[in-house]
Homo-oligomer: A and B are copies of this chain.
Amino acid sequence: MMTFVLVHGAWHTGDLMVAVAEHIASRGHVVHTPTAAGNRLGDSADTSLEEAIQSIVEFIESEALTDFVLVGHSYGGMLITGVADRMPAGTIRRLVYWSAFVPNDGECLNDLVPPFFLDLFDKMAESGGSVMMPFPIWREALTNDMTDERSTAAYAKLVPQPYRTFTDKISLSLPPAAFAVPKSYINFTEDTGMPHSMPWHPRLSEKLGLFRLVQASGSHEVCFSNPAAAAGAILMAAQ
């Protein structure tokens, strides 16, 4: 029996990780699905990256978790990297990056995405502190393994994302490659959330140094399209 903490991606909440969590829990494990600061109802559109990281640290401390597998999906990779850097050594059993960003010290999420995303979101953020994923990109590039109906239904569950969580540069005492905690990277082979000319893996995964690769078929949003596959990949990554 293992304990898992699943940290969602941008525009997502802990609720949207529940289907994946239930598949993991059905194998006898304990699974937590906190929602990071910035993505909770009523959170400020000006929430910072550090506030989001601290909210996960506080969740872990309030639950007094130890020896747990810390999983980050997409933007959640920024958060678990920060959490791992801030928690005492030995607290975390393994880090699992799931189609996730891997920052080094001083990098922000926007440093790791293609230029067209910056143009898109910079313009969008001018009208307020938060940004939204445009539906056409969601439909074609992120939910390419879903029907129109399921893609539209999933989109309706997304929340606005405070833009500072993309533009704030992370502060780390060590590069993730030097973290003592073991690391895994899950790559879904049809995930075009990043263009494949600038892919999740190996571009970002190899920033982890020595890591364990798990791959499976699916899009960026298997939390909706195939939660069983996501759970299976997480269990293989954690074993």
Q: Give the interface of A toward B (CB within 8 A).
A: 136-137, 139-141, 144-145, 147-148, 182, 189-190, 192, 195-197, 201-203, 205-206, 210-215, 217, 236, 239
User: In the complex, what residues of B have CB within 8 A of residue A215's CB?
Assistant: 189-190, 217
User: In the complex, what residues of B have CB within 8 A of residue A213's CB?
Assistant: 141, 144, 190, 192, 196
CA distance A149 to B212 in the complex (A): 16
Instruction: Name 25 interchain pairs, CB-CB below 8 A, sorted by A.
Output: A136-B210, A137-B210, A139-B212, A140-B210, A140-B212, A141-B212, A141-B213, A144-B212, A144-B213, A144-B214, A145-B236, A147-B239, A148-B239, A190-B213, A190-B215, A192-B213, A195-B202, A195-B206, A196-B201, A196-B202, A196-B205, A196-B206, A197-B203, A197-B206, A215-B217
User: In the complex, what residues of B have CB within 8 A of residue A197's CB?
Assistant: 202-203, 206
Given contacts A145-B236, A196-B201, A201-B196, contact A190 B206 (CB under 8 A): no
CA distance A196 to B189 in the complex (A): 14
CA distance A147 to B239 in the complex (A): 6
15 A-B pairs besides A190-B214, A195-B206 with CB distance below 8 A are A136-B210, A137-B210, A140-B182, A141-B210, A141-B211, A141-B212, A144-B212, A145-B236, A147-B239, A189-B189, A189-B215, A190-B213, A192-B213, A195-B202, A197-B202
CA distance A182 to B151 in the complex (A): 15
Residue of B nearest to A140 (CB): B212
User: In the complex, what residues of B have CB within 8 A of residue A239's CB?
Assistant: 147-148
Q: Tell me the smallest distance from the CB of A118 to a CB of chain B, in Å.
A: 16
User: In the complex, what residues of B have CB within 8 A of residue A201's CB?
Assistant: 196
Give 3 nearest A-B pairs by CB, closest first: A196-B202, A144-B212, A140-B212
User: In the complex, what residues of B have CB within 8 A of residue A192's CB?
Assistant: 213
User: In the complex, what residues of B have CB within 8 A of residue A139's CB?
Assistant: 212
User: In the complex, what residues of B have CB within 8 A of residue A189's CB?
Assistant: 189, 215
CA distance A145 to B182 in the complex (A): 15
